Structure 1
Amino acid sequence: MTNAAEEKNETFKTPEYIIPCYKADPEINKCLQRTFNHLRPYLLSGIQDINVPSIDPLKIDKLVMENGQGALRIRALFHNVTASGGSNYTITKIKADVVNYNIELGFKLPRVEIKGKYEVNGNVLLFPVRSKGDFWAIFLDVDAAAKIYGKEFKDKNNTRFMKIEKLLIDFRLQKSRFRVRDIINHGNIIGEAMNQFLNSNANEIIAEMKPAANAAIAKHFKGFLNSAFLKLPLKVWLPDA
C-alpha cells in the first residue's frame, strides 16, 4: 500500500523537454546524453515552469576570479556579463553513477562570445595593475568537462529531488581573442598595451587563470542548475528512482 507522498510522486507528469531515463537501463548513459541534447532548443527559449532563463544569451550578474600565485596575481571582477553561443553545445559523452547521483559530462562549444564590465587589481609580473572598463572575448572550439556530485533531497511534502553538492568544471580552448576598453587609464597607452599583452599572451593568461575561472564558473552554474533540479522531482526524469 502506497502512502500519500508516494501517490503524489506517481502523479507527476513528464514535461516535453525531458526524455525520462531509467536507473535500471544498462544504456542509461546514452539515454542521458539524448536527454541533455534534447534540452537544447528548450534552453535556448528558456523553460518557464522551472524558472530557467534562456542560456543564449546567458546573463551573469557577477563572477569573481582570484589568482594568488605565478606571474598573474590579480583579483578580477566581471559583472553585467552576457555570453552568446551556449545553445550550440553538443554533449559528447556522459558517465553516470545514478545510484550515488554523480554525473560526468563532456561537451563541445564551437564559438562563445562574452562581453561585460570588468575591474582588475593586482600585479602582472612585477608591475602593479589597476584597470576598469568594458571587455569582449571570443573563444573558439571549446572542449569542456563537468562533474556533478549530487545527493537525494526531500522537500516538506516528502517529494524527492536531486541536489547538487559539488560541481567541478574544466575547459580547453583552441583559439581566443580579447579586447578591453580601459576607462581608468584615459591616455589609452596603458589600455592599448593591455590589449596587446592580453592577445600576445592569451594562452599563458588562460593557463594561469584557469583554476580561478573554473571555480567561479562552477560556483555560478551550481546555483543555476540547483534552481532547476530542485523543481524537477526525481520521478520525472528517473521514474524508477
Structure 2
Amino acid sequence: MSQQWPSNCARLLAYLVATTLFATHLANASSQIDVDADLKHMLGRCHRVDEDFNECMRQVFNDLRAYFTTGVPDYNIKPFDPHHCGYVELRRGASQGLGSFRLILRNVSEYGWARSEVTKFHADPEDHRIVYTQYFPDKSLEGEYEFAAKMLGTEMNRRGHWNLTLYDYSQTTSVRRIGGPGSLIKVHVEVDRIGGMELHIENLLQGQPLNQLADGVINSMWQLGLPFIKPMINELVSTAFTDIFNESFRHFPLEKFLAA
C-alpha cells in the first residue's frame, strides 16, 4: 500500500495537470473571440433591401453593448463605457462685447452606455446618414472645467472638478459621413428628455457654503433653465462625439460585415 500510494498520487497529479491545461486552453480559446465572425453574425443578418432593415439594425446596436466596456482593439474602437473625451470647448459672445464666456471641459469620462437601449433607428443611405434614439436609465459624467466670463466689464474666472448624473434620459444622435469610406464623420446630438438631474460644480462660487447653495439652486430649478442651456448642451456633446466617432469609426470597414 505504501508503495502504491506515490504511484497513484503521481497519476492523479498528472491527471489534474492535464485537466487544468486543457481547461486553460478552452478558457483562452473562448476569451479570444473571433471579432470578425461575431460582427459578421450580428451585422450580416440585416439586409439593406428588406423592409425591416431599420428594426434589424436597432437590435444590432443593442447587441453591440457587449463591446461597450471593452471596445474593439482590432479596429481601433475604444471602449464606450466609460468613454473619455480629453477636451471640448464652448464660446459665446465677442471678447470685446458686453457679455461673453468661454467654457472648457477636460478629461471628461462618461458612464452608463452598457445599460442604455437604442429605441429607434433610421438609415438614410442617399445622405450617408444614420439617426438613432437612445435611452439611458442613468448616465453620469465627470471631469475638470475652466470657465471665463466677462459681463459689463466684470471678469469671472473659475476652475475645478464637476460631476453630473442624468436620470430617465434620452437623446437622438445623427451620424453623417461627409464623403466616401474613410472621410470625416459629423455627429449631432439632441437631448430629448431629462427626467432628473444632479450636478455639482466645484468652486463655482467663492466659499463652501455658497457653493452648496449654488448646487441646491441648480438641482432644484434646472427645469426652468433647460430651454436656455439645452442648445449649449447639444453643441458640447455634438462636438465631443464628432471627435470620438472620427477617432473610432472613421476607418471602420462597415461594408465588410453588412449583407447586400
Q: Same fold (TM over 0.5)?
A: yes
Partner of 1:203: 223
1:28-107 superposed matches below 5 A: 28-68=53-93, 74-107=101-134
Q: Is the 8 A contact 2:185 2:246 kept in 1?
A: no
Shift of 1:129: 4.1
Whether 2:177 is the aligned partner of 1:177: answer no
Q: How big is each residue's C-alpha offset from its partner over 1:160-180, in whole Å with a ceiling of 9 and x where there is no partner?
A: x36454322111211101112
Aligned equivalents of 2:119, 2:152: Cα separation in 1: 38
Cα pair distance change 1:122/1:15, threshold 3 Å = farther
Mapped to 2, the partners of 1:108 and 1:65 lie a distance apart of: 25
CA separation of 1:199 and 1:134: change in aligned 2, threshold 3 A: same
3-state SS of paired residue (2:238): helix
CA 1:229/1:137 → structure 2, altered by over 3 Å: closer, same or farther?
A: closer
Task: Report the 3-state secondary structure (helix = DSSP H, G, I; strand = E; otherwise coil) of the residue aligned with 2:202.
Answer: strand
Higher relative contact order (CA 8 A, sep 6+): 1
- What displacement does 1:126 show? 11
Q: CA deviation at 1:202?
A: 1.6
Q: Which residue of 1 aligns with 2:38?
A: 16
User: 1:48: Cα distance to partner?
Assistant: 0.6
Deviation at 1:57, TM superposition (A): 1.5
Identity %: 21
* Contact kept in structure 2, 1:164 and 1:222, CA below 8 Å: no
Kept in 2, the 8 Å contact 1:151–1:162? The answer is no
Structure 2 equivalent of residue 5 of structure 1? none
- In structure 2, distance between residues paired with 1:126 and 1:142: 38
Give the counterpart of 1:134 among 161, 182, 189: 161
Aligned-pair RMSD on alpha carbons? 2.9
Residue type of the partner of 2:53? I
Structure 1 consecutive aligned stretches of length 4 or more whose deviation exceeds 6 Å: 123-127
- Whether the 8 Å contact between 2:85 and 2:244 is mirrored in structure 1 is no
Is the 1:85–1:112 Cα contact (8 Å) retained in structure 2?
A: yes
Change (3 A) 1:27 1:126: farther
The code of the aligned residue for 2:38 comes to E
Letter in 2 for 1:56: D
CA distance in 2, matches of 1:152, 1:15: 28
Distance 1:183-1:221 versus aligned 2 partners, 3 A rule: closer
- C-alpha contact 1:138 1:177 (8 A) present in aligned 2: yes
In 2: Cα distance, 1:195 partner to 1:123 partner: 22
